[in-house]
Structure 1
Amino acid sequence: MLAVLDYPGRRPEAPVTALGLDGMVPLLTDPLPAEVTGPAYAARLGEPPGPVLAYCAASALAVHLAHRLEHPPALVFFDPMPATAADVAQAYARALGQVPGDVERTVPAEAPPEEPELFLKAAHEDLTRRTEAALRAQGLGDDAIAEPVSHFVRQHVTYLAYLLAARGPLPREPVGPMLQVLSRDHPDHRDWLPEGELTTVRVDSDRAGLTAHESTRPVVLSFLSALSATPRRQH
């Protein structure tokens, strides 16, 4: 079995499941975690059934997940890189842009504060207030707006939490065999990843089509096959 760590439905690029491998199980399913640190987020994911395949910022969460397990799984990263404060700010600004009306903004959209828990709480309250005001302006009553407000706010707050948790440095201790598959122009973030056994393969693909590219699947299968032929190491 393969565990897929890829935030559902948030990007136009080909998902990890485009690899078409057998036994792929998503680690991120509803209800999505609302934790804002990597270790706390990873603790909500449970134990993966096998190697973890992670895309982009989810690579950070895969490392935190492996780091907390007694027997860490092998990790496969696709264009790994940390989330940044700019990513969080852009996601929050996009959420605000989906709410019509002129409601005073109480949370800066330019950059999240240093206290991620307080930022997420403030964002939740701000989005709730703005969405309620927008729907009431359309003549809807409290009973009619409760569910759509909750759904909209939860959708954006859980994504903000995901980005916040994927920020920052990673534990440096080795966690097990790692493979990073890089698209044509993606920078090599090996200095950000943990120390240890790391294989890097660059595929002649743009970022959007990396996991669907014809060369990517054989690279991953070769790595996984080598794992099955090697005795499992203790952490």
Structure 2
Amino acid sequence: MLGGIDFGLMDPETYRDMSATKVITADTYDDDGYPIDMGLMDPRLGVIDPGLECRTCGSHSGSCNGHFGHIELAAPVIHVGFTKLIRRLLRSTCRECGKLALDEAQRDEFRDRYERAKELGDDEHDVLKAAVRQARKASTCPFCGEPQADIKHEKPTTYYEVQDVLSGDYSERIAAAMQPDEEEDDPGTSPQELADETDIAVDRINEIMAGEFRPRKEDRRAIEKALDVDLTE
């Protein structure tokens, strides 16, 4: 008596071993009307023409059920059936270390909820979905501290991170934020003082202020924090 059936995917090498032939062209027949090798009508995939014999099983068109081939993809292809799941996983895991963006206390809480759901016969998948929803709220990874960006899905199969875009007038904004403000009794900030506060070399500060060097993400954030200024669009 069967207790259940598991459906899944085999590894790529297994598919290659089971394949009758590699398909490298979409062409079907040559000029003489014969099936092209490694094409869509390769005789190793089965035959439909009277008089031809399948080069895999030796049968003719009436008795050959056909055999599958394989195509080597030039780049990974996303299965459209998993687009939502992929986005959820990308949003809930750290872009740097790959860990689920839940701290230890949150992990313990969801582990307890998961075990309790199993004991009560509830759907434990609801707990997993709740854990993913909580993890995607994290602005930084609780383990490595890497800032996390939101993930957008552009149908059908494109994913991209929503990043802050550096403003075109970033150097002017930095210079303005460094100016003295008499009303606030602020003497202003010199390039050397900004360098000391941000741990960025003063020569690099001068290059950034002159518009000769676009600040790296971590440098931009350090400057924004030191000067209380927004350098993004």
Q: TM-score w.r.t. structure 1 length?
A: 0.23
Structure with greater strand share of residues: 1
> Normalising to structure 2: TM-score of the pair?
0.23
